[in-house]
A and B are shown apart, each in its own frame.
Chain A
Amino acid sequence: MTPATIHPRLRAGLTGFHLLGALFPVIFLPAAFLTALGGGFQPNREAYGDPPNFNAETAYVAIQNFWLSLNRDPRQQTVLVLGLAESPGGEILATSNGSVLAKELAGIGVRVRVHDPQGSEKARSFLGDQVSYAEDLWQGARGVDAILVANKEKAYREMDLGKLASYMKRKAVFDCAGALDGGAVAAAGLNYLQQAVPAWPAWLDPELDQFAEEMENKLAKLPPEEHPILLIPHLPMNSLAGRSRWFLQLNYRMFPRRFYLPDAILASGTLVEFADWVEHWRENGPARGPILGPKKLQEAINRTGATWTLHYSPSTDFRVKDWRLIPAPKPTQPANEQQED
């Protein structure tokens, strides 16, 4: 092969291989179209795959990623897995999410303890000595780096979180079942890591749909420009996740309805700025309740001219019960014009 002939051959070979890359769009485009068709050309929540609560594989990856992001060696971690049955009181199975997670985590060298209110005898038959067995929840929790809640067993939902925090070495709580109240977990000084977030994007949340519609109906006869809404988050804010920025969703959906938010420039910024915003209020707000006290609220009403206030408890999951639209107090002076016009 002479130098003169290398060039065209290499060129043709590389280009040929590159054109093989077209197989990806050739597969992707029909697949995407058919996926849309399957959902009636609307984004179908079910097509996002994972069940809304818990998938062992997804949680396994998320937990690993969490440790990786902290440069922690999983083999140095001790984890207590709570719940080996698929559902509270159900049969303990090798295929339950808790059992699968325990086995997979043990497989990568994590020191795993397991607990189930029904005892551990059956679990020994399939988990063997890969894990250790805690007959008592508190015995199991002593000195662990993380707790992983795998089902909604009553004993777990009602456990004493303050006591739990005092027993744990590190404070990570992976709630894979949506069993715990994130606010209460955070208030106990634990790091609440919600793994039960629905797989679909925030804007497809059915409760968000429901709430936005209810608000539209309630405000239907009120001109948007004359009835601004002041958003008032409540503490504790248990998540730094971007998904808890539900104000973005409502602001988009309900435009030209006008929403105001304390320190909106920070809250609307990047995820990092949003985290700064949450931490600012955690440090400067009250321990619980609305971030604005009566005096600040009145000041906000005066500045924005808001006629409604929308109180909410931030969470990664939109729950209608966390939101409340109520008329704002009357302004004590005209709205600050620089804010609006």
Chain B
Amino acid sequence: MVVFGAVLLVLCTWLLGRAILPSREVLPRDRWEEQCMAYLLGASALPLAAMALSWLGLSFAPWLAWTMMLLAGAVGLWRVLMDRSTPLAPSSLLAWQKAFFGFLGVGSVLVTLSLPLNEFDPIFHYAFKGKVLFYSGDVLDPAFTGMVGEDGQAAPYGRIMTHPNYPLGIPFLEAFAAHAGFAWSDRWVQFPLAFWALCLPGVIAFGLRPFGRRPALFGAMVAAATPMLYARNFLADGIQELGQAGLGGSVTLGGGGDLPLAVLFAGSLAMLIRALRAPCRRAAAGAGLCLAGALFMKNEGLAMAGCLVLALLIADPLAGRRAWLLRGIALLTFLVCATPWLIHRGKLPAIDENYGDRFRPSVIAEHWQAEEKVERSTRVRQGGSSDLAEAPPKRRDLALTYFWREFTDFRTWGLLWALFLFSLPWTATRFRLAEARWLSLLVLGGLVLYFLILLITPWFLVQLRGTGIPERLMLHLLGPAAMAIGLLWWEPRTASEKPAEESSLSDPAPA
């Protein structure tokens, strides 16, 4: 029953996304691209809608979860029936390419579901909140708020929860799955979370479709081939790790927040590109929805949204009125969808540092020169007096070293970052392509932002490194990096691509 419920939820989520996705005539796509994009739109919309309704005072009770699911399914089904007569674009993938994407995508789903939740963050940061939503249905249950008193100060005797103000996107999806199956299952609540890695290449191909077959194909392949999409540092300790594959703390797949943020962010960019190219207001709204979905998965989604706005402002300020209108629609949709969560978040206790408050030039300047905060290290504290305390390394040097190690770590990233460097719009032709400019700037801005965050973090950086920082943050930029790399294969109309290979696509003129 639990399995069937989870399958039904995934189906309804996908159908909801199908209902949101603009028509095939406006945004041509093949079946693969459509399935992937639709799932991401649905997976954004469903938990955001649940949050909005909870914010309005409704309890996330079984009847509400079921009503939402069935409504989503019904609307989607109606849309699927309406679209029957509109053909999809034919797939341009060769058999081996289908096998490549299929193996990695289906493999990632099977691996996610092959074990119950088995990592610290997925269990304690997310699934516990999902359990609270499932059992109590209240986004202000004392389980969330009971560690502080009415004055907002720490209660002397409080309830236990790690990061109570982490976003509720994953917990809501898990609670939906539990309601659909009438029971909480540590394995099957992951079902709606099993499709992120499968969807990423598809949405990148969808986003790059207007630029021709090859950019779409290579962008998708670059993303799918990046090891970090599945696990990091795999085989770092040698071949004996094979017997422990999937058991360690280095798996990206599963119930964590970084992968859904990365994939929904990529989905948002894909929709935005298509919205601007089509042009299509509904697609712009879809981009805003996906961006809000990304924010609802992990707090860094807000930072990514900020980077995107800045990248568009700086890299393409002279876009026409229509482009600005579409961007405005995307931003407005994002704000509307994210507002219930952002307001609600203010009511939750915060046990992590507020980076927004620390993100000031004076604090950054101070940390640029500062030494590592060794006194925050539990290891130093366990070891008593420390030589490290006498000669602590500079925080700046440590952060730079960690980023450099990631850029050159083939086991985790392949050659993604070298390719990205190569894909920067060095030539005049590529520089004229607006998407190449703003995608590149977005990735560069994101990297700079994450570097600054490491610079000002109040915690001991050496300890953070052990938890997968900064690679888990850099993962958020995989989508735009892969898209920018895919655009390496874009060539203006005069290129020698055969019309037969282009199927129904046409190369765009530089914006």
Chain A interfacial positions (CB closer than 8 Å to B): 10-11, 14-15, 17-22, 24-37, 41-44, 47-49, 66, 69-72, 170-172, 191, 193, 201, 203-204, 230, 240-241, 247-248, 251-252, 255-256, 258-273, 275, 279, 299-300, 303-304, 338-341
Within the complex, what minimum Cβ distance (angstroms) separates A109 from chain B? Answer: 16
The distance in angstroms between the C-alpha atoms of A48 and B115, with both chains bound, is 14
Q: Are B158 and A260 in contact (CB under 8 A)?
A: yes
Contacts A28-B234, A71-B386, A255-B143 hold; do A22 and B225 have CB atoms under 8 A apart? yes
CB-defined contacts of B460 to chain A, threshold 8 Å: 272
Quick check: A248 and B384 within 8 Å, CB to CB? no
CB pair B414 A35 closer than 8 Å: no
Q: Is the CB of A29 within 8 A of B387?
A: no
Using A42-B116, A264-B147 as known contacts, say yes or no to A256 and B221 having CB atoms under 8 A apart: no
Give the Cβ gap from B344 to chain A, nearest Cβ, in Å: 19
Q: Are A41 and B123 in contact (CB under 8 A)?
A: no
Q: Which residue of B lies closest to A193 (CB)?
A: B382
B419 engages A251 (CB within 8 Å): no
Q: How far is the CB of B316 from chain A (nearest CB, A)?
A: 24
Given known contacts A10-B422, A32-B245, A33-B111, is B381 in contact with A230 (CB within 8 Å)?
Answer: no
CB contacts under 8 Å to A, within B74-129, are 100, 103-104, 107-108, 110-111, 114-116, 118-120, 123-124, 127-128
9 A–B contact pairs at CB < 8 A? A18-B415, A191-B382, A193-B382, A251-B161, A263-B158, A264-B157, A265-B158, A265-B351, A267-B160
CB distance from B347 to the nearest CB of A (A): 14
A260 to chain B, nearest CB (A): 5
For residue B231, CB closer than 8 A to chain A, the reply is: yes
Known: A268-B147, A338-B150. A19 touches B155 (CB 8 A): no
Q: Are A25 and B128 in contact (CB under 8 A)?
A: no
Smallest CB–CB gap between A330 and chain B, Å? 17
Which one of A70, A72, A201, A261 lies within 8 Å of B157 (CB-CB)?
A261
Given contact pairs A25-B230, A33-B111, A255 touches B383 in the complex (Cβ within 8 A)? no
Chain B contacts to A: CB under 8 angstroms: 100, 103-104, 107-108, 110-111, 114-116, 118-120, 123-124, 127-128, 131-132, 135-136, 142-143, 146-150, 154-162, 187, 218, 221-222, 224-227, 229-231, 234-235, 240, 242-247, 249, 251, 349, 351-352, 376-384, 386-388, 390-391, 410-411, 413-416, 418-419, 422, 459-460, 462-463, 485, 488-489
Query: Which of B100, B118, B245, B380 has the most chain A CB within a 10 Å cutoff?
Result: B245
**Cross-chain contact B156 with A262 (CB below 8 angstroms):** yes
A264 touches B104 (CB 8 A): no
Asked whether A255 and B132 contact (CB < 8 A) given A33-B110, A268-B160, A300-B156, the answer is: yes
Q: State which of A15, A33, A72, A248 has its C-beta within 8 Å of the C-beta of B162.
A: A248
Contact among A28, A42, A261 for B158, CB-based, below 8 A: A261
Knowing A14-B418, A41-B114, A49-B244, the reply to whether A270 touches B352 (Cβ < 8 A) is: yes
A40: min CB distance to chain B, Å? 10
Separation in Å of the B257 CB from the closest CB of chain A? 16
Q: What residues of chain A lie closer than 8 Å to B226, measured between beta carbons?
A: 18, 21
Residue of A nearest to B379 (CB): A69
CB distance from A25 to the nearest CB of B (A): 4
In the bound complex, how far is the Cα of B430 from the Cα of A11, in angstroms? 14
Asked if B147 and A272 make an inter-chain contact with CB atoms under 8 angstroms apart, the answer reads no
Q: Which of A21, A70, A256 contacts B225 (CB 8 A)?
A: A21
Complex Cα distance, B229 from A18, in Å, reads 13
Query: In the complex, what's the smallest C-beta–C-beta distance from B118 to chain A, in angstroms?
Result: 5
Further contacts, 17 of them, CB under 8 A, given A21-B226, A266-B154, A300-B156: A11-B488, A14-B415, A18-B222, A18-B416, A22-B225, A22-B414, A31-B246, A37-B114, A69-B379, A170-B384, A201-B118, A201-B249, A204-B118, A252-B128, A269-B352, A270-B459, A339-B149
Is A272 a contact of B376 with CB atoms below 8 Å? Answer: yes
A255-B128 CB under 8 A given contacts A15-B222, A21-B413, A70-B388: yes
Measured in the bound complex, the distance between the Cα atoms of B162 and A247 in whole Å is: 11
Query: For B110, B116, B120, B146, which residue has the most chain A Cβ atoms within 10 angstroms?
Result: B146
A24–B146 CB distance below 8 A: no
Assess whether B154 is in contact with A263, with CB atoms less than 8 Å apart.
yes
Residue of A260, A267, A272, A341 most packed against chain B (CB within 10 A): A272
With contact pairs A47-B244, A263-B156, A272-B378 given, residues A70 and B115 touching in the complex (Cβ less than 8 Å): no
Residues of A within 8 A of B246 (CB): 28, 31-33, 35-36
Contact indicator B148/A265 (Cβ below 8 Å): yes
State whether A36 touches B414 (Cβ < 8 A).
no
C-alpha gap A326/B443 in the complex (Å): 56
Contact across chains for A264 and B419 when beta carbons are under 8 A apart: no
Partner of A338 from B118, B149, B162, B234 at Cβ < 8 Å: B149
Whether B221 pairs with A19 at a CB distance below 8 angstroms is yes
Q: A264–B158 contact, CB under 8 A? A: yes
Given the interface pairs A14-B422, A69-B380, the reply to whether A35 lies near B157 with Cβ below 8 Å is no
Which of B108, B135, B378, B485 has a CB less than 8 Å from the CB of A29? B108
**Residue of A with least CB distance to B350:** A265
B128, B160, B379, B390: the one contacting A261 at CB < 8 Å is: B160
* Cβ-defined partner of B218 (8 Å) among A15, A47, A49, A255: A15
